Amino acid sequence: MARRKNFSGAQLRALRKESGYTQEELAVRIGISRETVSAIENEKPETMNSIGVEVISKWWSVCRQKASEQTRQSFFSTVMDYFGFTHS
C-alpha cells in the first residue's frame, strides 16, 4: 500500500518531549543514535526517507505510556494517513 505522507518530525519531537525523554534517552531505548533522533525530528530528507516502520513503532512504544489522550489520537491519525487507511 502506498504511503501518502511522511511522519512529521515535529510531531515525533513533541511526543518525545511530552513523554519526558531527551534525544539521548530515547535513542538508547529504541536502538538508534542520538544523531538519528535529531535528524528525524528536524526532518532531514535522507533520514526521513529511510526510516522504517520499526523505528516509528519503537518510538511509539517507548513514549505512548506518558502521552496524553490527545497526543495518542493525533499519532493514531498520522499512522492511518501514513499507510493510506481511512478513519473516522
CATH number of the CATH domain containing 29: 1.10.260.40
Residue 19 belongs to some domain of the structure: yes
Domain that holds residue 42: 9-82
CA distances from 1 to 12, 54, 60, 72 (A): 23, 17, 21, 23
pTM exceeds 0.85 for this model: no
When comparing pLDDT for 2 and 11, which is higher?
11
* Rg (alpha carbons) of the chain, rounded to whole number: 12
Do residues 16 and 41 touch, judged by C-beta distance below 8 A?
yes
Q: Summarize pLDDT for 5-59 with one digit per residue, the tens.
A: 567 888 899 999 999 999 999 999 999 999 999 999 999 988 888 888 889 889 9
**Total count of domains within the chain:** 1
Residue 4 belongs to some domain of the structure: no
